[in-house]
Chains A and B, each alone.
Chain A
Amino acid sequence: MKVTFPHLGSMHIFCKAIAETAGIPYIVPPETSRKTLTLGVLHSNESICLPFKIILGNFIEALQMGADTIVMVGSGPPCRLGLYDLVQRVILEEMGLHYRWLTIPPRLTWQAIWKNHEETKELRKELSAKNILLFPYGLWMGWKKMIACETLEQLAMKVRPMESEKGETQRRLKKALSWVDEAKTPRAVEEAIRKGESLLQDMKQDHSRIPFKVAIVGELYTVMDPHINRGVEQKLGELGVEVTRTSWFSTHILRTLRKNKADQASERVRFFEASKAYLGYDVGAECNVSIGEAIWRSKEGYDGVVHLMPFACMPETTASGILNKVGKDWDIPILTLILDEQEIEGRIQTLLEAFVEMLEWKRRAA
């Protein structure tokens, strides 16, 4: 057995940690590249969204490298994403690729547990007693590494607008994340966080700058993966913006586990409540949260909101229309960026530069 998983944000780091710790063979898909996208585009329906195509590309590359078991997060309707795992399975089968599929349930229900039981019935036969015994420890290591990655990424978002040399934060973050990836014991993970934090903090910084505060909201895969959003987070940071976002793997997992007491998860409940002023019901995926977050960010004194969505994404198309009104009602600049397979880095850069300049004018006028 060789498991694989999407190369999404820092997901490959903690999924690898689970498999590695439990002694289960795994294959990390190659970093998302143009080849990944080309494969994803070639084998999927033209009108489906960019995250679908990129994740499909990851799977194809991993299966071609010899993986035989795919672990993928499932999700619920009404977003097309709700059918992600099902459609991807059909496509891969039609391509003649052989594999087994394991869905991580989006919500813990009896039905999901039953499905998981069915899917793992065969797999469990291949696992040794040692694998099964070590699995809870593996999950714990995975969780630790996920938190480690998020801690470092959040610190990078804070220091990036202060960097004296453009691009330095990104280089250092990459190195710090590789330390987390290489750590083999819980103590080594702690050590990697500590070393990573000082690597980022010790960078040459210009503390005279007053960064703008901008929240990134939108479709979660697009928000979380720099390959899908073409590095919006980094680009904004390098333009002097301290970026915040609430879409993290930990937020979504805690939400799934109904651990709403955790700060980030309860924040999302708050956002959802705020969206009720504009939406009567749950549109699905992140739509309501995107709207609610924009409202709260305005109340909290943020300078602006950047809304990310894949082209043709249904819930976020709804959100973008409403966000126009939210921006006016709450006097907060909102920029919607639509992402698709075209190479539009230049265009994104233009829009972000103009957006930050608009914020500068607003600050000067105040």
Chain B
Amino acid sequence: MGALQVLIMANYLGIDVGSITTKLVMLSESGQVLAKTYLRNSGRPIEAIQQGMEDILAQLGKTVPIDGVATTGSARHLAAYLVGADLIKNEITAHAIAVIDFLPEAKTIIEIGGQDSKVIVLRNGVVVDFAMNTVCAAGTGSFLDQQAARLGISIEAFGDLALKANHPVRIAGRCTVFAETDMIHKQQIGHSVEDIVAGLCDSLVKNYLNNVCRGKEVLSPIVFQGGVAANRGIHKALEKELEASFIIPKHFDVMGAIGAAKLVKRARPSETKFRGFDLLRKSCSTRGFECGECENQCEVIELLVDHQVVACWGDLCERYRYAQKG
């Protein structure tokens, strides 16, 4: 009975630290989302992770035992060192896993986040192809963010404003830096903000389709997720361009974290490496220094928890990492 009790009680924490936002999800053994949080990093991922843990605790109302922790996203290694993770997984796989459980018949996942946009092609519940922007972050949310700020409108209102447009303006979509030039020109000759905002959505969508989806087989059912899925302007423009309607999951904004939690649930670590919720009351910081041993002049980062170095990275030759391992 005792063992069964533990099994029922099992909880898994998924942490997705992206470039702009941090997402945390607490998953039960049955795969139910017990708590979730989505917050901006504001350039401080460590604080965001601590804040996220606090949010999760507040939603649960009490400390619960954790049976496994997984991290994903571009700061997955930083997050893993910080919280003590049992599993570190790339965000492409994490997103795919979350969707396969949510909608097994899905054939395409469109995920647009802050700095990343991806397309994942699924067939029979298996990833068969994918693409992600590499050197250029043109078709992503952070550009919308900047433009919204420039126009003095909140990003939340941005999408709805686009829907009010009568004649969306044509904006060059090759590159966001070019797009901005074009956009300012349209603004200066008197186009309305609604039309410009709608034009911007069209341009971002074309950029995404040309850069990321080029040559990929985008078939329905299509699942649309990531922070930008909340933007109704982009949603409409994408559907129009692809001549398809999308399925947006209820937890569209935290799918990566859900995927990570599901993966650690499957892996069933016998004992978790999780440092515990106490972490949010500890002082956590990083310290950087430039190594002068060779011409690479690596910027080495040390992670400190309670003023003790717990991890270190950034050294191409790995000399400090070795010293750390002892």
Residues of A within 8 A of B (CB): 30-31, 33-36, 167, 311, 321, 324-325, 327-328, 333, 337-340, 342, 344, 346-351, 353-354, 357-358, 361-362, 365
Contact = CB atoms under 8 A, between A and B. Distances in A.
A358 B130 contact: yes
B297 A34 contact: yes
Nearest to B75: A346
Contacts of A354: 90, 92-93, 127, 130
The majority secondary structure among interface residues of chain B is loop
Contact of B127 (A34, A349, A361): A361
B91 A321 contact: no
Contacts of B90: 349-351, 353-354, 357
B288 to A, nearest CB: 14
A357 B127 contact: yes
A350 B92 CA distance: 8
A357 B93 contact: yes
B229 to A, nearest CB: 20
A35 B132 contact: no
A358 B128 contact: yes
Given A35-B297, A328-B217, A350-B90, A340 B135 contact: yes
A149 to B, nearest CB: 21
Interface of B: 74, 89-93, 124, 126-130, 132, 134-135, 214-217, 294-297, 318
Contacts of A338: 134-135
A324 B130 CA distance: 11
B226 to A, nearest CB: 15
B93 A353 contact: yes
A344 B127 contact: no
B155 to A, nearest CB: 24
Given A338-B135, A344-B135, A361 B126 contact: yes
Given A33-B297, A333-B128, A354-B130, 19 more contacts: A31-B294, A33-B294, A34-B296, A35-B297, A36-B295, A321-B215, A324-B214, A327-B129, A338-B135, A342-B135, A347-B134, A350-B74, A350-B90, A353-B89, A353-B92, A357-B90, A357-B92, A358-B130, A362-B126
Contact of B215 (A30, A325, A350): A325
A353 B76 CA distance: 13
Contacts of A342: 135
A365 B129 contact: no
A164 to B, nearest CB: 16
B134 A344 contact: yes
A333 B134 contact: no
B127 A358 contact: yes
A86 B114 CA distance: 42
A34 B297 CA distance: 7
Contacts of B297: 33-35
B295 A30 contact: yes
A35 B295 contact: yes
Nearest to B72: A350
A347 B128 CA distance: 19
A31 B135 contact: no
A33 B317 CA distance: 12
A56 to B, nearest CB: 16
Contacts of B93: 353-354, 357
A321 B214 contact: yes
27 contacts: A30-B295, A33-B296, A34-B296, A34-B297, A35-B295, A327-B129, A337-B134, A338-B134, A340-B135, A342-B135, A346-B74, A347-B74, A347-B134, A349-B90, A350-B74, A350-B91, A351-B92, A353-B92, A353-B93, A354-B90, A354-B92, A357-B90, A357-B92, A358-B128, A358-B129, A361-B127, A362-B128
Contacts of B91: 350
Contacts of A30: 295
A226 B51 CA distance: 39
Residue with the highest number of chain A CB atoms closer than 10 Å, among B135, B294, B295, B297: B135
Contacts of B294: 31, 33
Closest 3 CB pairs of A and B: A324-B215, A354-B92, A33-B295
A259 B309 CA distance: 58
Contacts of B130: 354, 358
A321 B211 CA distance: 11
Contacts of A337: 134
Contacts of A339: 135
Contacts of A324: 214-216
A147 B47 CA distance: 53
A327 B216 CA distance: 10
B33 to A, nearest CB: 24
A238 to B, nearest CB: 13
Contacts of A348: 134
A167 B74 contact: no
B246 to A, nearest CB: 22
Contacts of B126: 361-362, 365
Nearest to A359: B127
A354 B92 CA distance: 6
Residue with the highest number of chain B CB atoms closer than 10 Å, among A31, A346, A348, A350: A350
A328 B297 CA distance: 43
